[in-house]
Amino acid sequence: MLQTPLTGKKILLGITGGIAAYKTPNLVRLLKKAGADVQVVCTPSALDLVAKNSLAVVSERPVLVDFFDASGKWNEHVQWGLWADLILLAPLTANSLAKLAYGICDNFLMATVLSARCEVWLAPAMDLDMFTHPTTLLNLKRVADLGYQIIEPETGSLASGLSGKGRLPEPETLAQIVETVFQSPTPEAPQPQGEVEAVTPETSFYRGKHVLVTAGATKEAIDPVRFISNHSSGKMGIAIAEALVQAGAIVHLVYGNVTTPLPDYCYLYPVESALDMLNQCLKLFPNMDAAWMVAAVADYRVENIAREKIKKSEDHLTLHLVKNPDILKTLGELKTPNQKIMGFALETENEEFHALEKLQKKNADAIVLNSLKNENVGFGKNTNEVTVFLHNGDKLPLPANSKTHIAQELLSLTSQCFQV
């Protein structure tokens, strides 16, 4: 059997009574497929939304709900709290979040969580107004301070018919996050304080600021039907744009080829090539307070683009490439003392050296280093793992988590750039 980071790991999945509970059988299936041993524990209200028998079949274990089973046998919550290598509560309702925040232990799931010695990860999911309610935000901060790890909800269509933040991430994303917990070289999980701070946009230094964001891959034409590009999906750049919107910024998104939905409430500027992106950025940048340069821009372009489709004839085809302008460096040379620029770097060797070199040579205020060494994060994935290098010399690693979470953390960490 193929070994994965989850092989033999004991995962306790706690399901509370949110509408997103319907996603959980698929999540259990994915965790089991990755080699985990999964025990499902439900609150009574969760079973109004997901079938107990379905969960039992996919987990290959009886679902625990009450302190006593049907035969009257005692279910030992302490035993299950000690059994788990990781506890994930998904979906976590506002009601159950409030119970965790104040240690209210009125059902079997809450008692199990309070008995746990492992990491406990929370995936809150609720409607937009519930998620942004002051009491929910206070409870999120409280559980973060207590050491619980928070997975940011996604933005999209909600059960009420509204559109906004509050969706439970898809099972594939949740399974990836659980897997990355056991891949981390250290036992430390991502610290949630920055994330919780980021969901209170009224305190954000980005509020009211005009921010340029680039995302996605550029395309460099070879002929009318072919082009040179890369594997960027645009997910990280779009996650940053969404986080900025939530923080109150006025976002101008310049995007190339992307494979993920574009965010709401942004000014959108579609482009194709690196030169197109440069020209659009040059038009916008003089009026920007900050820029997040996240796009994967092609370093080279074809010198002479063929007017007609190149026919397959010879065994070899030689393309003469010329260097594209460096957009980050160009804007870095143009920026004023009141403007801030954050760039991204993707390296495969001597990563820290090249990131620091880019930070200095391109006059950036921060560089976010992506690594290809962890194959479960990065291009096309919903998760990422980065290290932030600030101009003041700080090095700030962010362990693997969802790109939504990473984006929120990046806004928090780069606040130092605006306080100089």
pLDDT 10s digits, 255-293: 999 988 888 778 889 999 999 999 999 999 999 999 999
Mean pLDDT value of segment 137-152: 90
Global pTM reads 0.54
Q: How many residues does the chain have?
A: 420
- The strands making up 366-371's β-sheet, listed across from edge to edge, are 267-270, 250-255, 210-215, 290-293, 340-347, 366-371, 383-390, 395-402
So what's the pLDDT on residue 70? 73
| pLDDT band, very low/low/confident/very high, at 193 (cuts 50, 70, 90) | very low
So what's the pLDDT on residue 275? 93
The owner of tokens 């690196």 is 274
Whether the ω angle into residue 91 lies within 30 degrees of 0, i.e. cis, is yes
> Looking at the predicted structure, is the pLDDT value of residue 186 above 60?
no
In tens, the pLDDT along 359-375 reads 989 999 999 998 766 66
Per the model's pLDDT, the better-predicted residue between 258 and 70 turns out to be: 258
Pairing outcome for strands 290-293 and 340-347:
parallel
By the 8 A CB rule, do 108 and 41 touch?
yes
- Give all strands (DSSP E) within 220-328, no chain letters: 220-221, 227-228, 250-255, 267-270, 290-293, 300-302, 321-323
Label each residue of 109-142 as H, E or C: HHHHHHCCCCEEEEEECCCHHHHCCHHHHHHHHH
- Reported as type and span, the H/E element at residue 154 is strand 154-157
Mean pLDDT value of segment 383-393: 89
So what's the pLDDT on residue 191? 33
The DSSP 8-state label assigned to residue 295 in this structure reads: -
Of 238, 270, 234, residue with least CA distance to 251: 238
**Mean pLDDT over each residue of the chain, to the nearest integer:** 86
- Residue 315 burial (CB < 10 Å; 0-12/13-18/19+)? exposed
Mean pLDDT value of segment 37-63: 95
CA distance 55 to 22: 10
CA distance 324 to 275: 7
Out of 64-78, 293-307, 382-396, least confident range: 64-78
Residues taking part in catalysis: 230
CA distance 23 to 343: 36
